[in-house]
């Protein structure tokens, strides 16, 4: 009996270790940046006509950077959910996109997918590569100290709820109800 219990505990332990490695591997397949990392240098023109740096983006508080691709199969599905979150909290927190396009490419993207937030243009992928973003739609939260505070992977219902809760906490307001019907239960990426 004792032998079986020991074996059972060992199997459970190794299963937990395997889950931790799988979660780490999943995060790394989407984005390399992790909590506590210093932000990369940012000096990019944006859709608001300004050039932004980490300092300008975080002068009033943390910034949430949403990474999107100009051409991505996730755009028509993910963007409406991020737009709902932006509408709920965009006047209280700094929510900024990063796109692998110049002004004209972003204008086409915005016209088609309706994302209304300010977006940094990153056609040479300096910001995207600097944070190690490999898939579309992660959100990286950078604190006033210029360090990564959170990484939200993808656009599944659970991740969107975590993002909403974090933004509400940051804005010091009650979490707003956001219709996430139609969002997948697990994380999705572009």
Kindly state whether residues 112 and 153 are assigned to the same domain: yes
pLDDT tens for 28-76 read 478 999 999 999 999 999 999 999 999 999 999 999 999 999 999 899 9
CA angle 33, 126, 68 (to 5 degrees): 70
Burial of 120 (0-12, 13-18, 19+ CB in 10 A): buried
Residue 178 domain-assigned (yes or no): no
- Give 164-176 pLDDT, tens digit per residue: 999 999 999 999 9
CB 89 within 8 A of CB 160: no
User: What is the number of domains present in the chain?
Assistant: 2
Give burial (CB, 10 Å; 0-12/13-18/19+) of 126. Answer: middle
Pair 156, 88 in one domain: yes
Q: Read off φ and ψ for residue 177, nearest 5 degrees.
A: -70, 130
Asked if the structure places residue 183 within a domain, the reply is: no
Residues 96 and 18 in one domain: no
Domain coverage including residue 8: 1-30
Q: In this structure, is residue 164 part of a structural domain?
A: yes
> Across residues 78-97, what is the average pLDDT?
96
> Does 142 lie in the same domain as 113?
yes
SS3 174: coil
Query: Which is nearest to 44 in space by CA: 63, 61, 28?
Result: 63
Write out the E strands in 31-93: 43-45, 51-53, 63-68
pTM of the model: 0.85
- Average pLDDT along the chain: 88
Residue 52, domain member (yes or no): yes
Question: Are residues 22 and 40 both part of a single domain?
Answer: no
Q: What angle do CA 106, 111, 112 make, to 5 degrees?
A: 100
Do residues 145 and 87 both lie within one domain?
Answer: yes
CATH number, domain of 114, equals 3.40.30.10
104 falls within a domain: yes
Sign of torsion over alpha carbons 152, 114, 169, 161:
negative
Query: Do 121 and 159 fall within a single domain?
Result: yes
Query: 77 with 17, same domain?
Result: no
Q: Which two tokens stand for residue 108?
A: 């086409």
Do 142 and 74 belong together in one domain?
A: yes
Same domain, 134 and 42: yes
Task: Give a yes or no: residue 180 inside a domain.
Answer: no
- Mean pLDDT, residues 144-162: 96
Whole-number pLDDT of residue 189: 87
Q: Which two tokens stand for residue 130?
A: 């600097």
Instruction: Tell me if 179 is assigned to some domain.
Output: no
Answer whether residue 123 shows pLDDT above 50: yes
CA distance 21 to 110: 37
Together in a domain, 26 and 48: no
Among the listed residues 119, 126, 139, the one whose alpha carbon sits nearest the alpha carbon of residue 27: 139
> 58 with 148, same domain?
yes
Q: What is the pLDDT of residue 163?
A: 98
Task: Answer whether residue 189 is part of any domain.
Answer: no
């Amino acid at each position: 009996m004792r032998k079986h219990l020991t074996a059972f505990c060992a199997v459970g332990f190794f299963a937990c270790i395997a889950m931790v490695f799988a979660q780490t591997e999943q995060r790394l397949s989407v984005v390399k940046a992790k909590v506590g990392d210093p932000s990369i240098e940012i000096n990019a023109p944006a859709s608001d006509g300004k050039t932004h740096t980490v300092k300008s983006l975080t002068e009033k508080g943390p910034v949430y950077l949403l990474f999107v691709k100009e051409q991505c199969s996730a755009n028509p599905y993910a963007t409406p959910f991020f737009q709902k979150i932006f509408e709920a909290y965009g006047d209280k927190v700094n929510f900024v996109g990063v796109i692998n396009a110049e002004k004209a490419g972003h204008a086409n993207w915005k016209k088609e997918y309706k994302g209304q937030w300010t977006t940094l243009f990153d056609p040479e992928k300096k910001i995207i590569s600097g944070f190690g973003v490999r898939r579309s739609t992660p959100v990286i939260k950078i604190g006033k100290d210029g360090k990564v505070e959170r990484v939200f992977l993808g656009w599944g219902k659970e991740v969107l709820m975590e993002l909403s809760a974090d933004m509400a906490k940051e804005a010091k307001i009650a979490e707003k109800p956001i219709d996430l019907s139609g969002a997948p239960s697990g994380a999705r990426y572009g």
